[in-house]
Amino acid sequence: MIGKVLRAIFTLLFTVLGVVLAGQLIPTLESVAQDTFWVHSFLGITIVSLLITVGGALLGLGIGLLVAPFLQRRLFSFASWGENMLAGISFSDLLLGVAGLLIGLLIAGLLGVAFTNVPLIGPYVGIVLSIVIGYTCMHLAVSQKQQLAAIYNNLRAAGKEKERPEEESTYGKLLDTSVIIDGRIADIARTGFLEGPLAVPVFVLEELQHIADSADVLKRNRGRRGLDILNEMQKKKIIAIHIVTEDFDELTEVDSKLIKLAQRHRVPVVTNDYNLNKVAELQGVTVLNMNDLANAVKPVVIPGEMMYVQVIKAGKEEGQGVAYLDDGTMIVIDHGYPHLGEEIGVIVTSVLQTSAGKMIFARVEDSGA
């Protein structure tokens, strides 16, 4: 189908060309045939001009019908050659090459203006500059694409940094009820490893107040402890803390409100609640889990390492003793029960990582050895 269309276009072009060329001969032939029958006009057109025009159109049509198949094949061959040339070039390289070529032609055009009035070589300097500078800029654009991509990424990152909303720095990190009651947040903030500010939503404070007013003694003590920790952090200015008054009346659960607030302002949640941790992660909220931090900073022990511990109680198996590290990691000591209440040297035999934490197995150091 495309071949037929191209042949028709080429035939039409040769027909028009024949008419145009015949039109150039009309004045000459009319002057030769002056005062003859051939110069009589018919509807404003002389007979000689009509015959020459029709003859030129027929001649162009005939040449077009003969030449059109050859031109069509040559055009297809050229298109196939162009496809093969571009097949090994990626789209990004092609864009960079075109952009570099345009920049080079622009530079060459500006420089060529300065040589337009130079005798003899002036008109040709612009052509030479366009070829040389155009090719150079095209080659540089393609060969330096990695550096150009790095510059583009840096500019894009800088733009995103400027567009970052101010709510992130204003709200800081949201504190959950559980992490306030836990109390370790104050110790971590005191060391300087936790960056502020910290935000306490008003609905978290209300939950703390309900816990502190509970009839259950244990819950009441935990609630009061959480409020005392917040007061201490504010009074001693351990870290910047502010109260967020934004609330969601359509939600009843504190955890749901906390997740929605974190999503709205794109801030992380600090907690040690396992269920809240999982639900928040599923909804795309960043979670800072205090238990994960505690596990990460526990001392690393390897089999064969010796340590001194105090045997606290008997183990589940006969003859076993149990000791604890300062971070609460349990050590099961084989044949440690006879040393109950004593501080002895033990050698680590194995380390077991469980869902509840780390457990260390050891044996009593051989004093003879």
Q: Are residues 172 and 290 in the same domain?
A: yes
Edge-first strand listing for the sheet containing 313-314:
306-310, 343-354, 357-364, 330-334, 321-324, 313-314
Q: Are residues 172 and 263 in the same domain?
A: yes
Single residue among 256, 272, 295 that ends a domain in this structure: 295
Model pLDDT, residue 347: 92
With 80 as the cut, is the pLDDT of residue 155 above it? Answer: no
Could you tell me if residue 160 is inside a domain? no
**For residue 184, which amino acid is it?**
R
For the chain, the distance separating the N- and C-terminal CA atoms, rounded to the nearest angstrom, is 96
Q: What pTM did the predictor assign?
A: 0.45
Q: Are residues 172 and 289 in the same domain?
A: yes
Model pLDDT, residue 165: 47
How remote is the C-alpha of 228 from its chain's centroid?
Answer: 43
Question: Quick check: bond before 338 cis, omega within 30?
Answer: no
Per-residue pLDDT reduced to its tens digit, 63-91: 888 888 888 888 778 777 767 766 666 77
Distance between CA 198 and CA 193 in Å, rounded?
13
Q: Are residues 278 and 228 in the same domain?
A: yes
Percent of the chain beyond pLDDT 90?
5
Domain that holds residue 79: 2-88
> Mean per-residue pLDDT for 279-299?
83
Distance between CA 202 and CA 80 in Å, rounded?
71
Q: Which residue did the predictor score with more confidence, 351 or 159?
A: 351
Looking at residue 310, which CATH number applies to its domain?
Answer: 2.40.50.140
Model pLDDT, residue 143: 79
For residue 238, give the DSSP letter: S
Q: Which residue did the predictor score with more confidence, 94 or 282?
A: 282
Tell me the average pLDDT of the chain. 80
Nearest to 198 by CA among 166, 174, 231: 174
Where residue 167 falls among pLDDT bands split at 50, 70, 90?
very low
Helices (H), the chain: 2-32, 47-87, 91-112, 122-143, 145-163, 167-171, 177-182, 184-191, 202-212, 217-235, 254-265, 274-282, 290-296
With 50 as the cut, is the pLDDT of residue 343 above it? Answer: yes
**For residue 1, which amino acid is it?**
M
With 70 as the cut, is the pLDDT of residue 45 above it? Answer: no
> Mean per-residue pLDDT for 332-355?
87
Per-residue pLDDT reduced to its tens digit, 203-219: 888 998 898 888 888 88
Per-residue pLDDT reduced to its tens digit, 185-194: 888 888 888 8
Model pLDDT, residue 166: 45
With 80 as the cut, is the pLDDT of residue 41 above it? Answer: no
Could you tell me if residue 209 is inside a domain? yes
Distance between CA 365 and CA 363 in Å, rounded?
6
CB within 8 A of 3, min separation 6: which ones?
72, 76
Model pLDDT, residue 248: 85
> Mean per-residue pLDDT for 327-348?
88
Model pLDDT, residue 86: 63
> Mean per-residue pLDDT for 255-279?
88
| Lowest-pLDDT range of 201-205, 280-284, 298-302, 321-325 | 298-302
With 80 as the cut, is the pLDDT of residue 158 above it? Answer: no
With 50 as the cut, is the pLDDT of residue 369 above it? Answer: no
Model pLDDT, residue 48: 65
Could you tell me if residue 158 is inside a domain? no
Number of structural domains (the chain) is: 4
Q: Are residues 133 and 59 in the same domain?
A: no
**For residue 43, which amino acid is it?**
L
Distance between CA 350 and CA 328 in Å, rounded?
17
The token duo for 32 is 């030769």
